[in-house]
Amino acid sequence: MRILVINGPNINMLGIREKNIYGNNDYNSLVEKIKKEASELNCQVDFFQSNIEGEIITSIQKALGVYDGIIINPAAYTHYSIGILDALKSVNIPAIEVHISNIHQREDFRKKSVTAEGCIGQISGLGFEGYTLALRGLINLIRK
């Protein structure tokens, strides 16, 4: 089982940006948490992070035939990227959208996810734990 974890803009700034929203832990600690969970689940995970929309789209397209599932935090692109939505739909790989903060309790423009329509589910507001829950959920759904 191979899962691709994609993170969008500013996720690389975890531990530095808006600690009151995203906490003190950095991006590397997020990656290590997911790797640990994947090891316990006997699953291979690869990571991709970009601040550039087109690179995220390309990583989704390149996942076709390589990965069994995708965990994606499109970050700010969540709210307006038709391109990422179309890429998720085009590859037809089960994907779960994850958000560290609860997007539904934030500014009005953050409450709408354009990209969620291309995913089988969404986890929002559970911090880094959302990624490990997404990993478990995705693996369980794929193995059925």
Catalytically active residues, by annotation: 22, 99
Return the bridge partners of 134, or none. none
Distance of CA 56 to the CA centre of its chain: 11
3-state secondary structure the chain: CEEEEEECCCHHHCCCCCHHHHCCCCHHHHHHHHHHHHHHCCCEEEEEECCCHHHHHHHHHHCCCCCCEEEEECHHHHHCCHHHHHHHHHHCCCEEEEECCCHHHCCHHHCCCCHHHHCCEEEECCCCHHHHHHHHHHHHHHHC
Phi and psi, residue 15, nearest 5°: 85, -15
